[in-house]
Structure formats: C-alpha cells, structure tokens
Structure 1
Amino acid sequence: MGTRDRVARYTGLAGALLLAVAGYLGGALPDATTAPDGGPLTVTLWLLGTIAMVGAWWALRDGAPSTRWAYVTAGWWTLPLLVTAPLGSRDVYSYACQGWIYADGGDPYAIGVAAAGCPWVEAVAPVWRDTPAPYGPFFVLLAALAVLLGGGLVGTVLLLRMLALAGVLAAAACLPGLARAAGVPPRRATWLLLACPLVGVHLVAGAHNDAVMLGLLLPALLMLVRRPGRLGSLRQVGVLLVAGVLLGLAVSVKATAVVVLPFAALATVRGRPVVRTLLRDGGLLAVGAVSGLLVLSRLTGLGLGWLGGLGRSGDTVQWTSPPTAIGMLVDYVGELFGRHPDAVPVTRIVGILLLTALLPILWHRTLATLHPPPPRHAGFRRLIMKLLPWVSVYRGDKFMINPAGAGSGGGGGSGVGVVLGGAGVGLVATVVLAPVFHPWYATWPLAVLAVVATRTAWFVAPCALASFLALPDGTNVARLTKAPGAIVMTALVLAAFLWSLSRRRPWRSTPS
C-alpha cells in the first residue's frame, strides 16, 4: 500500500466521520422535517465530509491496491454512516409507514400514509404523505416485517437499514465474479461501487430500497454468467429459473430492474442457433421472473396495484432530470412573454417515448454485437440507426466496454462484457430520461458499469457530482437552484446531442 492509497483511505474515513456528525446534528430525524438543527455548522461539516469522500474515491478510480483492501476500506467508511441518523432523504419513513399500512391490514397502493393513519406520518416528507406506494409487493412485505419486528419507529428504521446493508453486502459478494467474467480487474470494480459516497450515504445511511434491488440483481447476473455450459442439463434449467426468480423479485422491489431483464436474456444465449436458444433459455429465465413477480403479488394479496403508484413519483419537479429541466426552461422563457406553456408534462412524455424507443434498439445492437447477423440484414441495421442518429454512438468501444470475447460465437464467459455493458447503458438511459432523478438513482448503472467498463470517468464523474445534490436532512439542492439548474442542464443536454452527432460514423457490419 503506497502513500497515495493510505491518504485516500484515511481521507475518506475522515469524510465519513464528518458526515456522521452532520447526521447527528441535523440529519433526517423524525421530528425535524424543515431545516437542519445544526444550521451552518451542519452544512459545513456535510460539505467538507462529502468533498473528502468524493475526492478519496475519485483518486483511486483506476483501482484500489487489491480487492481485499477495497473491501476493508469501504467497510471502514461505512461504519460511521451505519450508526448515524438517516441521511440525504426521508424516504425510510415512507417505507416504514407503507409497511405499517400493510401490517395493519390496509392496502398501501390504494391510500396514502396520512389518510391511513400511520402513527409516524409527521416524519414523512410532506410531498409523499398523500401518495400511494410505488414499490413492489416484495419490498412492502419486507417493510411490514420490519414494522412487526421493530416494535416502533426507531426499531423499524434500524431494521430497514440492516435490510439495505444486506443488499449492499449481497451485491458486494458478486462484484469480483462479475468483473472477472467481463475481463475487468476486481479490485477496481469493488472500489468503484462500494467506496462510492452514494452507496454509503444513501443506500446504507439513507436505507434506500435500491440496495435491496441491487442485492437481488447482481446475484442473478452472476448466476447467468457462471451457469453450466451444457445445454439442456437439469442443473442449467434450475440456474435459469432461480436467476429469473431473483430478477422478478428485484422488479418486485423497484420497477427499474425490468430494464435489465432483456439483456439478462441475452446472457442465456450460448452459440447458435441464436433465436431458438434465446426462446428456450431466455424463456426459462422469463418464467422464473414472472413467477417471482406474480406469485408473490398473489400470495401477499397486493396484486399489481403498485404500478399505478409509479406515476406519482414525478410529483416533484427538479432540474436534475434532463426532460424536466428542458420543460422548466421552456416555462421560464414563456413566463418572460406572459405565457404559461406548462411544458414539463410534455417534455417528460417525450423523454419516456424516447426511452421506450431507445431500449429495444440498444438491445438489438447488443445482440448484433454478440452475434453479427448475415450481410442481407445490414440494410435493416442502417435503417434503425438512421431513425435515432445519436444511438449510433453506442458501441462497446465508444463507451469503453470490455467485450470479453464478443462475437466469438459462444463459450464460457463469451460476450459477458457486451451483455452487461448493454444493461449498464440501458440503465444510464433510464436514469437520464426518467421524469425525476434523485442522487441514489445513479447507483443503478454504477453497479453494472463498475464490473464491465475499461474507462470510468464518463460515469464516475456524474456520480461524484450527484453526491453533492442532497443535504443531510433530505433537502434537495435542486429545489434551491431551480432556474440556474434548468439552464445548465438544458445546455448540457444540447451539448451532448451535438457531440453525439459529431461522433456518428457509418455502421460497420463487423463490430470492433
């Protein structure tokens, strides 16, 4: 361990301690829903601690000295955050109240926590007190168990934090295996995810259920890339079904996990014929996923009512979502001329439509990289790229995805990097085009890209910036910088679009 590594380890630890103190002074405590009690001191400690953690994480973004060193250092950084108040968000109190509703015999998908009479409703952020739960039945069941076992709000929050920690640990255990399968150094993949301040602050201290989703998602992906190679074996069928169930449970925590499912199906394809193999092995995976989702929905009696709650997640209007930022800027410009265009709902719909079109094209491109189609299909591929010019920017080499044997036509681990890379970029698109963005959303693509990317700055830098978007009591900085933020975000979107056009090149029939 060199001097730089030692400095990074203890600088990050000092930052975590500062954040923990800021949490005690003015974190997201149940009886403080307006401003941090510590005032300027809390904000100062929070800013210094975030700078220290982000700086230390960034300094070793090319890899820690060893995988074990990365695990130990990330563990040290997590300990202070494990014992402080909830940080960066009040969502954990929403989880507690939604679990309380179900444990009390109610339906959290039909009624808000205030109307249900949750005894802890005052701890919930005002904007979420009248909205139904947008989370799947598996997480509602887990939250209800935390309520029953916790014996009160403090015990429930502690159990929800332990649940989030378990999700992080499950994801952490899979990082070396996934990284090796994709041809990426495990010491770097482990560092990029576990030492990221977003993980310690928001997934652990904030107890966000994104940790549970990742704790189901990464084991499922690891099972797929390590499954037995002999087609039709009973063991392989079992692996595909179990992996599918885990993916279904991940969707039953947060709907975002559904983006990964089509790419996970590509991981089941070993050799040719591609279509028949995809239908057979991908079908088994789909059966497991549907079973994990629907059977649990049936057993809990909650059904699919949570899908209706997803639309309420956009109740907050913040410039951190690019489509929302563009709509906000249009509204601001309209107000200068005495108009009220109300453009945010329109730009959000456009973003969803773009995402709906982009994900299938990205999946097709990933498949074409794994198994190049015959020349007679080249014209169709060029037509697809012309429909969305900036999609042609996505290629494994452009996004620095390690192909790990892409296009080799099968074999153990062949194309793992391409499949995971496609899933990671799909999650990036989901985060960018969603109607709302919160800092912890950045951990979705980070968890996948950490194990596959050969260059990291293009996704590590946004994660570093996202670490500064929330204050310890849950106040989002975007709420305090609406107009300037909307202008800057719109300018970034325009710059990215122009860059994608400048990088556009004719599609080659044989991928690099």
Structure 2
Amino acid sequence: MTAPGTPPAAPGTPPAPPGVARLARYAGLVGAVLLAVAGWLGGALPDAASARGRRADEPWTVALWLVGTALLVGAWWALRRGAPSTRWAYLTAGLWALPLLAAPPLGSRDVYSYACQGWAYAHGVDPYATGVAEAGCPWVDAVAPIWRDTPAPYGPFFVLLAALAVTLGGGLVGAIVAFRLLAVVGVLLAALCLPGLARAAGVPTRRAAWLALAGPLVGVHLIAGAHNDAVMLGLLLPGLLVLLRRPGRPGPLLLAGALLGLAVTVKATAVVVLPFAALAAVRGRHTLRALLRDAGWLAGGVLGAVAVTSLLSGLGLGWVGGLTRSGDSEQWTSPPTAVGFVVDYAGGLVGREPGAVPVTRTAALLLLAVAVAALWWRAWSGLCRLADVRQRLGRPDAARPRVALLGAGQALVATVVLAPVFHPWYATWPLALLAVAATRTTWFVAPCAAVAFLTLPDGTNLARFSKAPGALAMTALAAGLAVWALRRARAARPG
C-alpha cells in the first residue's frame, strides 16, 4: 500500500545485453578521445584570441567535437536504464574520464575566472567588490570578456579554495591543475555516496551510478571544465547521505548541516535543497514538533558553516551581493530570458521597447519560490500520510528517503528552468539527485543529452547564433509545458 503523493519504488530493469554494453563502453571512450583532441585543437586555452582566431572555428575541430559529443551522448543514452553492474558503471565512467583529464579546459572559460578571483583574494583584494580586471589579475586575458568586470558570484568557502589553488599552483597552469583536482575530488565524493542514496531510495545502484557519473555533462564540464559545481555536489550528496543514515540525532544532524552549509557557500543554488533535507532529518513520524526539533539541529549546522567560512575569509556576507551579477549574460537557453526576448520582439513590431527581460526574470524568481514551496508541501503531506499508513500496518517508513530526495531533485529542476541564466553544467545539479530517486528517467535524461551539444570546445555557446529562433522555440516549449502541467494538476484534483 502506498500513501497518496508518494512515488512508487523504482522497478528493477534487466541489464543491457553484454554486446550492447561493450559497444557503448568503447563508443563512449572513442568519443572522449575525440573531445580531448578537439580541446587541444581549439579548446579554452589561455590565449583566448589565438585559440579563436586560428583553430576553434576550423571545420575539423568542430566536426571532431560534435562527433565526439554524439558518441558520448549515444553511449550514455543506450544504457540509461542501467549499466550491467554498479562496478561496471564506475569503471566505464572512469575510463571515459581519462582522456578528458589530459585535455585543456573544455566547454567554458570559467576556470580562468576562478583563478583570477583566487588570485585577487590571495593578494588582499575583495573579489565581491571588484572585477578581476580592476583587481589586476595577470591572467585576465584568459577570462571571458563578459566576466572580467563582474564580482565573484560564489560563496566564501569556494573563494578560500580558489586562493589555495592559486597559491599551491604557483602559476596559471598549476592553478588550473589544482582546480581540476578539486573537481575530481568533488566527483569522487559524490560517487562514493551514490550507492547509499540509491539503496535508501529503492533505486538500482547500477542505474544511479551510470546516470550520475557517465553522462557527457560530468566528464566534459565538471571534470575537464573544472567547474565548481563538482565541489558543490561533492558536499551536497554526503550531507544528504548522513541525514538518511542518522536522522533525528543531534551529532549527525549538525555534521550534515555543516556539509550542506559548505555546499551553499560554494554555490548558493544548494539552498533550495535545504527544505527537503529538513524532511529527511526527521526520525519517526513527521509531525510539526519533530520537524522543528530535528530541522533546528540541521539549521544549526548550516548556519555554523556559513558563519565560520564568512568569518575565516574576512569577507562577511559580501558574496550575497555578487549573486545579482550572475545574470549579466542574456541567452535564450534560460526560459524566462527567452520569454523576455519574445516580448521585446513583439514590442519592436509596434514601435515600442518594453525591456521585458528583467521583468520576466523577476517573475520567474517569484514563481520559483512558489514552486519550491509547493513541492515541499506536497512532500510533507505525503510523508505525514505515509507515516500514518506505516504505523497502522506496523511497517518501517521506507519511502521517506525517496520522497525527500525526489523533492530536492525536482526543486533543482525548477531552479534550472526558472533561473535567469542557464549553462549546460547546471543540469548536473538535478541530475545527481534524480539519478538516485526518480523512477522514470527519460524526462530528465533527454534534456541533459540535448544540452550537451550547446557549447563548442573553446566555450562558445551555440545559442549566440540563434537568438531569435531559439527564443521563439523556447517560449513555445515553455508555454506547452505550462499548459500540460496545468492540465495534469487539474486532472489530479480529487472529485
């Protein structure tokens, strides 16, 4: 018997035939090698002008990149229902990562921004008060022009890590190596937690490991691109695992809260997971009193981590202000931005300039707050009803972890969809949680596969070349999904 609002346990699926799995493994490896070669021919090398002018746009470089991406995406997609075994999934993901570890930064120039922000802090400059160009970073030419004059949008813990990477690296190349090592550590920490989270949620570990680790977004953007999203996930998943294994106990709750708080002080996006972590923190029946008691310990750990890192860095809460500049980039890949573009286009047809993008972005953030609150209430209500059913039947509350993890994953989906800016690696946030909690996979695996084609090896976003048609298509897609969601919500209403 399943309580209303509770997702069913993930059904077991047979592993792929050995021939299909073997073909997928080596097709993905070839794809990873092609991506690494394309990276050396035209990746995000430090000399940005030279890379763009001589090699990045050459047909062979683009062809290698697109074919490599297609092979990696196809191999990942072929086993989306699960690898032959969990060990096989780990080994294959590691095999695919090897060529990418030997490549230059791929798909983005953000790692150079990290290096300059770390350099600025290490030299006594507040990275939240000034851009890296004004700070005098010697590597500013490697930073994407749009981010040279913007303050750091990351939390104080990551700024401390960035300064450490720059100090230990001794130069730009050494700093890039250090950032990549940080990313690898983050991915490994997340990987260690996947089996425990998947078992708690009743999802096959071989499927969870494959979806969360073998996808092209992880290899290309988290590992090769050295994005700090890997560090965030490497803190977020251990924090959630501690919660699920030791709910209701002050010590583990404080530890879990500290890990989650550190994740927030890397990227503030992690904050949307906290309400669902509070649900996972409750031991036994979900009552308001139990929630306030156990979530209080969790909140203590979170606030403690934020306070300690803010004080240790000497930067206080200045990082909160830096978040407002993360939306300086305007591309149709963000649905709210695309809708704003379409409104502006329509206004232009009648001789007006409405400047709708800031308005649609603000409305989307308000909608995000409503969506997260609704998801939390649905999870809370389902857990309360489930507790009553389990108590009457005398069975343990086995669905609690799945409800909390699925709610957190859905909240991250809403964050990605409604954020003012979108980059392909943002999709790794919900992917990591949905891989261990969702029963159906196509609805989130397919978009992750599609967005893997959005960037070129030097970080050029293909959305730049399709602004008007892309905005129209994204707006139409968003409208269609909104209508579908409303109809489904009405159909689900009782009576």
Asked if these proteins are the same fold (TM beyond 0.5), I'd say yes
With over 3 angstroms needed to count, the CA separation of the structure-2 counterparts of 1:273 and 1:119, relative to structure 1, is closer
With over 3 angstroms needed to count, the CA separation of the structure-2 counterparts of 1:207 and 1:273, relative to structure 1, is closer
| Worse-superposed segment, 327-336 or 243-252 | 327-336
Partner of 1:37: 54
Can you give the 5+ residue segments of structure 1 that lack an aligned partner in the other structure?
376-404
Partner of 1:157: 176
Residue among 328, 332, 335 paired with 1:322: 335
With over 3 angstroms needed to count, the CA separation of the structure-2 counterparts of 1:145 and 1:358, relative to structure 1, is same
Residues 80 and 441, structure 2, Cα contact 8 Å, conserved in 1: yes
Partner of 2:429: 444
Partner of 2:355: 342
TM-score calculated relative to the size of structure 1: 0.90
1:241 aligns with 2:254: yes
Residue 451 of structure 1 aligns to a residue whose secondary structure is helix
The residue type equivalent to 2:450 in the other structure is L
CA displacement 1:20-77 (0-9 Å, x = unmatched): 0000000000102472633111111000000000000000000000000000000010
CA distance in 1, matches of 2:391, 2:260: 24
The residue type equivalent to 2:464 in the other structure is R
Residue among 448, 462, 475 paired with 1:490: 475
Residues 454 and 463, structure 2, Cα contact 8 Å, conserved in 1: yes
Partner of 1:464: 449
With over 3 angstroms needed to count, the CA separation of the structure-2 counterparts of 1:410 and 1:506, relative to structure 1, is farther
- Runs of 4+ residues deviating >6 angstroms: 405-410
The residue type equivalent to 2:116 in the other structure is C
1:3 aligns with 2:19: yes
| Worse-superposed segment, 316-325 or 498-507 | 498-507
CA distance in 2, matches of 1:273, 1:82: 45
Partner of 1:251: 264
1:195 aligns with 2:214: yes
CA distance in 1, matches of 2:252, 2:387: 31
1:424 deviates by 0.4
RMSD: 2.1
CA displacement 1:268-301 (0-9 Å, x = unmatched): 1222361111111110000000001111101110
Map 1:246-285 onto structure 2 (within 5 A): 246-272=259-285, 274-285=287-298
Residue 260 of structure 1 aligns to a residue whose secondary structure is helix
CA displacement 1:125-168 (0-9 Å, x = unmatched): 00000000000000000000011100100000000000001000
CA distance in 2, matches of 1:305, 1:3: 54
CA distance in 2, matches of 1:142, 1:173: 22
CA displacement 1:393-438 (0-9 Å, x = unmatched): xxxxxxxxxxxx8998984644111110100000000000000000
CA distance in 1, matches of 2:133, 2:279: 44
The residue type equivalent to 2:460 in the other structure is T
1:508 deviates by 6.3
1:136 aligns with 2:155: yes
CA distance in 1, matches of 2:483, 2:85: 40
Residue among 412, 430, 434 paired with 2:419: 434
With over 3 angstroms needed to count, the CA separation of the structure-2 counterparts of 1:412 and 1:150, relative to structure 1, is farther
CA distance in 2, matches of 1:374, 1:51: 46
1:341 deviates by 1.2
Residue among 31, 36, 39 paired with 1:20: 36
CA distance in 1, matches of 2:115, 2:489: 48
Partner of 1:480: 465
Can you give the 5+ residue segments of structure 2 that lack an aligned partner in the other structure?
1-16
With over 3 angstroms needed to count, the CA separation of the structure-2 counterparts of 1:334 and 1:281, relative to structure 1, is same
CA distance in 1, matches of 2:216, 2:41: 19
Residue among 404, 422, 429 paired with 1:419: 404
| Worse-superposed segment, 136-145 or 366-375 | 366-375
Residues 271 and 409, structure 1, Cα contact 8 Å, conserved in 2: no
CA distance in 2, matches of 1:281, 1:335: 54
Higher helix proportion (structure 1 or 2):
2
With over 3 angstroms needed to count, the CA separation of the structure-2 counterparts of 1:509 and 1:244, relative to structure 1, is farther
Residues 286 and 387, structure 2, Cα contact 8 Å, conserved in 1: no
CA distance in 2, matches of 1:407, 1:315: 54
CA distance in 1, matches of 2:353, 2:334: 21
Partner of 1:117: 136
Residues 286 and 384, structure 2, Cα contact 8 Å, conserved in 1: no
The residue type equivalent to 2:158 in the other structure is F
The residue type equivalent to 1:12 in the other structure is G
Map 1:379-398 onto structure 2 (within 5 A): none
1:335 deviates by 1.7
CA distance in 1, matches of 2:231, 2:394: 34
CA distance in 2, matches of 1:503, 1:293: 39
CA distance in 1, matches of 2:227, 2:391: 35
Partner of 1:391: none
CA displacement 1:171-216 (0-9 Å, x = unmatched): 0111011000000000000000100000000000000000000000
With over 3 angstroms needed to count, the CA separation of the structure-2 counterparts of 1:218 and 1:428, relative to structure 1, is same
TM-score calculated relative to the size of structure 2: 0.93
CA distance in 2, matches of 1:5, 1:360: 41
Residue among 98, 122, 125 paired with 2:117: 98
With over 3 angstroms needed to count, the CA separation of the structure-2 counterparts of 1:337 and 1:102, relative to structure 1, is same
With over 3 angstroms needed to count, the CA separation of the structure-2 counterparts of 1:462 and 1:506, relative to structure 1, is closer
The residue type equivalent to 1:120 in the other structure is W
Residue 54 of structure 2 aligns to a residue whose secondary structure is coil
1:206 aligns with 2:222: no
